[in-house]
Amino acid sequence: MLVKFAVIAGSASKDLGKRIARRLKAPYVEAKTRVFPDGESKITFGRIPKNSVVLVVQSTYPPVDTNLLQTLSIISQARKAASKIYAIIPYMGYARQDRQFLSGEIVTMSIVAKMLEAAGAKKIIVVDIHSKTALNHFKIPKENVSAIPDLAKYFKKMKLKNALVVSPDTGGALRAKKFASLLNTDFITLKKSRNRKTGKVLIQSSKVDVHGKDLILVDDIISTGGSVIKATQFLKRQKCKRVFVACTHGLFIGDAERKIKKAGASQIISTNTIPRGTSKVDVSGVIAESIR
């Protein structure tokens, strides 16, 4: 039996939602959002095609709580007409709060999972989630797709000579390894420490041989940019040629983008999980492929 899809996107992911709809040749249902002076959101959307699987597309980047509540509201309303709801949350807010690091901390990801399930989501699709542990909080089917092949494809077109992929920490080593294999080049991993209470970042690596090389510093999320800034400054001191920064989710809180460039980055490339000027890589293809 042929599955009929329909797409509804929240205000945070309208362009991405339309792209996914085009790739699936599915109707796009326009959702209109009005935000009142007190911060409350009111959402209205048109008729959903009968017996369709509705794909609710919304990244929950800042304002995280507003975008999350809008997602829950759309899912809750759409389930009344849909045969099934898939929640496509390319950037999943709260994914870094997936376990208790310090005594007394709330594992917020567990609460988010319960809310999405209670609202009516029957499947969750995310892109390069920060930790697979976050998805373990869901009881419904879940899928994590990767933007790394598309990011690597973007850099392949740049035809960098003498390129080297760099992970800013050991936690991203597998990501850097995959990125480097797609570019047919090598990778290195820096050692980083972060104070859990203050958030202060230190690069612990001694000297690395990057002299004259074009470096691609790869991360999953760039928020305030602290880790990437420290890594870029460290690499520039090692006399590399250029530093390109690549990430799936470019939050760039405050003036993070300016600070990263000031640290010495030649260019910053992110995907459209979060729409920004740096969003040069489209993830609608990999999302649509996972749905098909």
Average pLDDT, stretch 101-109? 90
Average pLDDT, stretch 17-24? 98
Whether residue 250 sits in one domain with residue 172:
yes
Tokens read off for 255 = 């003036």
Whether pLDDT at 51 is above 80: yes
Has residue 183 been placed in a domain? yes
How many Å apart are CA 227 and CA 221, to the nearest integer? 10
How many Å apart are CA 153 and CA 159, to the nearest integer? 10
Report the C-alpha dihedral over residues 292, 219, 189, 173, rounded to 10 degrees.
-30
- Alpha helices in the chain, H assignment, sequence order: 14-24, 64-78, 108-119, 132-135, 148-158, 173-183, 226-237, 256-263, 284-291
Beta bridge partners of 243: 215, 265
Whether residue 197 sits in one domain with residue 118:
no
Active site includes 192?
Answer: yes
Segment 172-221, tens digit of pLDDT: 999 999 999 999 999 999 986 666 666 666 666 667 788 999 999 999 99
Has residue 277 been placed in a domain? no
Selecting among 142, 192, 213, 230, the annotated active-site residue is 192
Looking up residue 229, the CATH number of its domain turns out to be: 3.40.50.2020
The parent domain of residue 178 ranges over: 148-272
The gap between the terminal CA atoms of the chain, to the nearest Å, is 13
Whether residue 47 sits in one domain with residue 155:
no
- Split into its structural domains, the chain has a count of 2
Handedness of CA 94, 120, 17, 42 (dihedral sign): negative
How many Å apart are CA 25 and CA 206, to the nearest integer? 52
Whether residue 186 sits in one domain with residue 111:
no
Whether residue 165 sits in one domain with residue 95:
no
